Amino acid sequence: MRAALYTRSASVSQQSAEIHDPFMACRTFAEREGIDVVAAFEDAGASGVSSVDRPGFHNLMQAAKTGVVDVVICEGLDRLSRSQADILDIFEALRILDVSVITLTDGRVDGMQVCENGAPDTRRLKAMQRKAMTEHQGNGTSPSAPEPEVA
């Protein structure tokens, strides 16, 4: 099995530790599993919100399209993209090319994991909403709730 490693870091200041360490962890995983690493791609200082400005990602996808790799290994799905819609598109494009995805956090990724990864955690979202409302009320930037009427 031939693998491409991929990693991305959001800021240039993070790139040395955040790019090098995941590459080493992915390479160690591949060696342990008997997977031959044939390529490694990185995007230092690149946001995961969009794949438009990520040449390393585009090179990874080109390697998949040309049949150079059988599997993509990365630290987590969020390294491929922070957008759930993009993750679904990327996963489907790789699946059609018969290229698997393995992450250090999830192992071999399947379609169900991709969908579950994007499922909103309702409690977490509600807690974030309450925190934001509390902060806005504390700053006086949010209209206060109307006082309950006394009967």
**For every one of its 151 residues, what pLDDT tens digit does the chain have, with 9 covering 90 and above?**
999 999 987 765 544 555 568 889 999 999 999 999 999 999 887 766 666 678 999 999 999 999 999 999 999 888 888 888 888 899 999 999 999 999 998 899 887 666 665 545 445 445 555 655 665 555 444 444 444 455 4
- pLDDT score, position 102: 96
Q: Starting at the earlier edge strand, list the strands of the sheet with 100-103.
A: 36-43, 2-8, 71-74, 100-103, 107-108
* CA pair distance 42, 68, nearest whole angstrom: 17
Residue with tokens 């390697």: 63
Task: Please count the other Cβ atoms lying within 10 Å of the Cβ belonging to residue 26.
Answer: 26
* CA pair distance 65, 94, nearest whole angstrom: 8
Cα 141 versus chain centre, distance = 34
* CA pair distance 13, 85, nearest whole angstrom: 28
